[in-house]
Chains A and B, each alone.
Chain A
């Protein structure tokens, strides 16, 4: 069984093929870095895996079945995070609202659910955040809380959409380490989208690079090459390696840095409801 498999899948949004005839297979337990320029379809791909978007052609298989909205085996950390500045809500209550939050009626958290939330917070080293109000947390702390939330319910597949945005370099490293550690222990498949390849190099098993409607899955050495990336970016790309770092350059400029400076808001252009 594969964790995620696309077979000649085409995903179209607003008359635009975000992915065209894409095929790849992700194995269970793999840590996949999902990279590519803005608008390449990182968020769209995750939404398709979640069953929020259906492919217009081809098939998508997730954990051996067709994508199903509300699949409890998938943990998700969305990129667009709604912040409610005035609401003073404890970290625990914030997470608790998502546990079976799809059920009708009054909110209710049972003793076993409380225990699961506590354990998961401890797992990512966030137990101290349970009693802290959300509005007083730093970006890194909030991210840790959201990561704990994504791990509740023992998912087999974790979709993390740009979890490093708005974190400083040290917190980015910590976040990557926590994800890698927990997912190795529990054999969770991870799709981790990011702007920058270099921080992820030590953690990831393979890279899924998106661009120009295409998707290429392979090891860093197979994918991060001038011919492959030139095809995905639709422009002449050079790959420069220096001291264990890889720089993807276009006409002498680092494309990842350029991308990043354009994306402060962290909003994906392909976000649809």
Chain B
């Protein structure tokens, strides 16, 4: 068994594109699993989904003016996340408003793509991810962006947990609810940008919602849940890459299947929870 794994990994890692993919997917998965944990805890997964679609418009728009798609993604999701946080009561918890903005953003993304020359490849890469094309420079960028995201989350984590669990009491105790939720959506925007680089804007849920939702079903505490969520995301991303390498199926498909399987297994295993 050990010998087989060694054969598999040496075979796979003799290609630089595979080691790069493992590094990039690992960084994005850990960030997504941790940030996604709070997204699921706060019941804001739909807002995360909308941010990724807005990011699609940003990425295609950036391509149109000659910028790297990642910066369009970061810029648009960050601006949208902060706007949603500031307008919190009017927008962020209203599914219809978010849905309309989401569709509008996808529409604009399509328009930008229309004027973009390499239409088909670019669209597929943005929508479904292209982790096998990641280079060293992108890994460094993802690492820095990931550290900034986690540092931002760490700075607001205590009031964020309080405000998520008991908003009325947190407000009375002096937690600035709007500031905390705006800062959190900015953190989510950065995590979405990272995650979209790996699995694409349409599949950010596979790493940002699947693993944390499964972890919250299984773990009994905040820290254990957070660690489990990050571990599941990392495991799904790496195993997905491995399966994709040997089957030649798309990476994002493999990760999506693992994420779904893991979530439903957690639902079924709920009676055997860990403490």
Interface string of B159-197 (1 = CB under 8 A from A): 101111111111111110100000000000000000000
Would A97 and B157 be within 8 Å (CB), given that A69-B174, A70-B173, A88-B220 are in contact? no
Quote the shortest CB–CB distance from A158 to chain B (angstroms).
13
Partner of A107, one of B43, B158, B174, B225: B158
- A104-B159 in contact (CB<8A): yes
Residues in A whose Cβ lies below 8 Å from that of B156 = 104
Residues in B whose Cβ lies below 8 Å from that of A93 = 221-222
Q: How many residues from A make CB contacts under 8 Å with B?
A: 35
Residues in B whose Cβ lies below 8 Å from that of A90 = 220-221
What is the bound-complex CA distance between A106 and B157, given in angstroms? Answer: 5
Would A101 and B175 be within 8 Å (CB), given that A93-B221, A133-B220 are in contact? yes
- B168-A86 in contact (CB<8A): no
- B88 closest partner in A (C-beta): A273
- B157-A107 in contact (CB<8A): yes
Residues in A whose Cβ lies below 8 Å from that of B41 = 84, 87
Question: Which A residues lie at the B interface, using CB under 8 A?
Answer: 47, 50, 52, 69-70, 74, 76-82, 84, 86-90, 93-94, 97-98, 100-108, 133, 149, 273
What is the bound-complex CA distance between A87 and B168, given in angstroms? Answer: 18
Known: A97-B162, A104-B156. 5 other contacts (CB 8 A): A84-B43, A88-B216, A90-B220, A101-B170, A106-B157
| A contact patch SS | loop
Partner of A98, one of B89, B169, B213, B273: B169
- A78-B168 in contact (CB<8A): yes
What is the bound-complex CA distance between A106 and B172, given in angstroms? Answer: 20
What is the bound-complex CA distance between A81 and B89, given in angstroms? Answer: 18
B119-177 residues at the A interface, CB under 8 angstroms: 154-159, 161-175, 177
Q: How many residues from B make CB contacts under 8 Å with A?
A: 36
- B171-A101 in contact (CB<8A): no
Q: Does B227 belong to the interface (CB within 8 Å)? A: no
Partner of A86, one of B159, B164, B165, B217: B217
Question: Which B residues lie at the A interface, using CB under 8 A?
Answer: 40-41, 43, 89, 154-159, 161-175, 177, 213, 216-222, 225, 273
Residues in A whose Cβ lies below 8 Å from that of B225 = 88
What is the bound-complex CA distance between A101 and B166, given in angstroms? Answer: 10
What is the bound-complex CA distance between A98 and B222, given in angstroms? Answer: 14
Residues in A whose Cβ lies below 8 Å from that of B173 = 70, 76, 98, 101-102
Residues in A whose Cβ lies below 8 Å from that of B172 = 47, 50, 52, 69-70, 74, 76, 78
Residues in B whose Cβ lies below 8 Å from that of A88 = 216-220, 225, 273
What is the bound-complex CA distance between A261 and B170, given in angstroms? Answer: 30
17 A–B contact pairs at CB < 8 A?
A52-B171, A78-B169, A82-B168, A84-B43, A88-B273, A93-B221, A97-B166, A97-B222, A101-B159, A101-B161, A101-B170, A102-B175, A103-B158, A104-B155, A105-B157, A107-B161, A108-B158
Quote the shortest CB–CB distance from B193 to chain A (angstroms).
24
Would A102 and B220 be within 8 Å (CB), given that A52-B172, A273-B171, A273-B177 are in contact? no
- A86-B171 in contact (CB<8A): no
- A94-B165 in contact (CB<8A): yes
Quote the shortest CB–CB distance from B167 to chain A (angstroms).
6
What is the bound-complex CA distance between A74 and B40, given in angstroms? Answer: 31
What is the bound-complex CA distance between A103 and B220, given in angstroms? Answer: 24
What is the bound-complex CA distance between A77 and B166, given in angstroms? Answer: 10
Would A82 and B165 be within 8 Å (CB), given that A87-B41, A101-B175 are in contact? yes
Quote the shortest CB–CB distance from A227 to chain B (angstroms).
36
Residues in B whose Cβ lies below 8 Å from that of A80 = 168
Query: Which of B157, B159, B170, B174 has the most CB atoms of chain A within a 10 A radius of its CB?
Result: B174
What is the bound-complex CA distance between A93 and B222, given in angstroms? Answer: 8
- B162-A106 in contact (CB<8A): no
What is the bound-complex CA distance between A244 and B102, given in angstroms? Answer: 61
Partner of B89, one of A76, A84, A273: A273
Residues in A whose Cβ lies below 8 Å from that of B168 = 78-82
- B169-A105 in contact (CB<8A): no
What is the bound-complex CA distance between A273 and B176, given in angstroms? Answer: 11
What is the bound-complex CA distance between A247 and B267, given in angstroms? Answer: 49
Quote the shortest CB–CB distance from B20 to chain A (angstroms).
32
Quote the shortest CB–CB distance from B37 to chain A (angstroms).
10
Quote the shortest CB–CB distance from B252 to chain A (angstroms).
26
What is the bound-complex CA distance between A108 and B154, given in angstroms? Answer: 12
Residues in B whose Cβ lies below 8 Å from that of A107 = 157-158, 161, 222
Quote the shortest CB–CB distance from B130 to chain A (angstroms).
33
- B219 closest partner in A (C-beta): A88
- A74 closest partner in B (C-beta): B172
Would A105 and B155 be within 8 Å (CB), given that A78-B169, A87-B41 are in contact? yes
Quote the shortest CB–CB distance from B246 to chain A (angstroms).
35
Would A97 and B161 be within 8 Å (CB), given that A78-B168, A88-B216 are in contact? yes
- A86-B213 in contact (CB<8A): yes
Quote the shortest CB–CB distance from B212 to chain A (angstroms).
10
What is the bound-complex CA distance between A105 and B163, given in angstroms? Answer: 14
Partner of B158, one of A79, A89, A94, A101: A101
